[in-house]
Amino acid sequence: MGWFDALRGSRAVDPRAALVDPIEQALRALGWVEGEVGAPRAVDSPFGIDEMPFEHWLAQVFLPRLHEARADGQWPTRSDVAVAAYRNLDGQPDAQPLLRLLSQLDALINTRAG
């Protein structure tokens, strides 16, 4: 294999994009996502706090936006979804795998933004 082939084949998967499917699986395991993931629902407040339960925001706003970010490579410059999730999902032991994934995503986004 020549150097050109090595360069062409060295495209690594974006680690942020690699978390989208596991996050979706975690949301499905909790019963918060069923069926197809549609377009993001429009919200006017951060995390939809004045408009819907946090679990609905994760399923109807956050997850569709994650799919869009993975598709177009346009990630936010900052993410604090894990902090909001820890606050809103405190005491739900089944949410621990999701919380870990969201923490990883925040770390990856915030590290790349710096």
> In this predicted model, what pLDDT tens digit does every residue of 53-75 receive, in sequence order?
999 999 999 999 999 999 999 99
- At residue 13, the pLDDT reads 83
Q: Is pLDDT of 9 > 50? A: no
Question: Model-level pTM?
Answer: 0.85
Q: How far apart are CA 52 and CA 76, in angstroms?
A: 22
List CB contacts of 68: < 8 A, sequence separation 6 or more.
Answer: 40, 74
**Orientation angle between helical segments 96-113 and 81-89, nearest 10 degrees:** 160
Q: How far apart are CA 101 and CA 107, in angstroms?
A: 10
Looking at the chain, the whole-number percentage of residues with pLDDT higher than 70 is 88
- At residue 113, the pLDDT reads 55
Torsion, Cα 41 67 31 99, to 10 degrees, reads -110
Q: How does residue 42 score in pLDDT terms, banded at 50, 70 and 90?
A: very high
For residue range 10-39, list pLDDT tens digits in order.
456 899 999 999 999 999 999 999 999 999
